[in-house]
A = this chain, B = another copy of it.
Amino acid sequence: MINELVKKIQKTEAPIVVGLDPMIKFIPDSILQGAYQEYGENLEGVAQAIFTYNQGIVDAIYDLVPAVKPQIAMYEQFGIPGLIAYQKTIAYCKQKGLVIIGDIKRGDIGSTSAAYAVGHLGKVTIGEKEFRGFEEDFSTVNPYLGSDGVRPFMEVCKEEKKGIFVLVKTSNPSSGEFQDQIIGEQTLYELVGRKVAEWGEELMGDSYSYVGAVVGATYPEMGKILREIMPKTYILVPGYGAQGGKGADLVHFFNKDGLGAIVNSSRGIIAAYQQEKYASFGAKNYADASRQAVLDMKADIAEALAKR
C-alpha cells in the first residue's frame, strides 16, 4: 500500500491528504436539516449529515489528491451511528480510488493491539469465513507501550500489504511535555523516530517502508532532524493550515526526491467555505470551496518545494 500511495502522490503531484474530521458546525444547514427531517434530530440524523457532507467533499476532491484521513474521534463521539458514518465514509472513498489513512491513534499491549490491528487493517475469522471491520489502508498508532504495542500492527501490515504511521512528534502545543524530554544524547521523539526507522527496515516497500511516522508541521526544525533519522520513512504531517503550519515549514519533511512526506489539512479544506478567503462560494457550494482550497494548498507546497 505504501507503493500505491507513493504512485498516487506522483500521479496527482499532490503530497496532500484531506482530513475528513467533520464537526456539526462545519456542515451546511441545508444538509443538516435534510438529515434531521429524514432521520430525526438525533445521533442517526447527525451521522447521516456527516456522511452526506463528506460525500460532497470527496466528489469534489477525489481526482486531486491521493488520500483521505478520517479522524475516528469525530465519528466516535456520536456513538454507534457515528461509527457507521465512519465506515460508510471509508467505503465511499475507496470506491473513488482514494487511499484511506484511518487516524485512530490506537495502541495497547500485545493481544489487544492485535485486536485493533485486525479490526482496522485486517480480518477476523468466524467459522470458515473471513470478515473485516473497518477497512482502512493505513492506521495511526501510539508508541507509548513500546514494540509490544506496535508489532501486532506490523504483522497485520505484512499480511495485508497495508501500513501504519506511528506518532513520533505530534503537532499540538504541549507535545513537548514528554516527547521533547532529553534521554541521554537525544530527545524522546528522536528515540521513537529511531525505533520507527528500525521497525521500518523489516517492512520495506519499493523505496519507502510500510511503517511511517507522524511529525507535526508546527515543528519544522524537529521535522528536519527526524527526516535524517528516518530516511526511508514516509512522514504524515498534520498541523498545516488551521493549526498554523505553512508551506515553507514543510520543505524539511520531504526528501530530495520530492517524496517522503504527505501533508494533512482538515478544517482548512473541509470547512474552507467558512473562511473569509473562500466565503464567496457560499454554504451551498461548500465542496467547490474545498476543491479550491486543495488547489491552493497544492500550489503552496509546490512553490515551497521549488524554492528550496
Contact = CB atoms under 8 A, between A and B. Distances in A.
A171 to B, nearest CB: 6
A234 interface: no
B126 A45 contact: yes
Contacts of A126: 24, 41-43, 45-46
Given A41-B127, A126-B45, A144 B73 contact: no
Nearest to A120: B76
Interface stretch (A130-138, A275-283, A294-302): A130-138
Contacts of A175: 109, 145-146, 148
A118 interface: yes
Contacts of A74: 112, 115
A83 B81 CA distance: 11
A219 interface: no
B146 A179 contact: yes
Task: State how many copies of this chain the complex holds.
Answer: 2
Bin chain A's interface residue count. Answer: 35 or more
A146 B174 contact: yes
A192 interface: yes
A115 B76 CA distance: 8
Contacts of A179: 144, 146
A172 B41 contact: no
A173 interface: yes
A207 B167 CA distance: 36
A177 to B, nearest CB: 3
Given A42-B126, A109-B170, 18 more contacts: A21-B112, A23-B111, A41-B129, A43-B131, A71-B115, A73-B106, A73-B119, A76-B116, A78-B119, A79-B131, A82-B119, A105-B107, A144-B170, A144-B179, A149-B172, A177-B195, A181-B183, A181-B191
Interface of A: 21, 23-24, 36, 41-43, 45-46, 71, 73-74, 76-80, 82-84, 87, 105-113, 115-116, 118-120, 124, 126-127, 129, 131-134, 142-149, 167, 170-179, 181-184, 188, 191-192, 195
Q: Which 7 A-B pairs have the closest CB atoms?
A: A79-B133, A146-B177, A146-B174, A77-B119, A109-B172, A73-B115, A41-B127
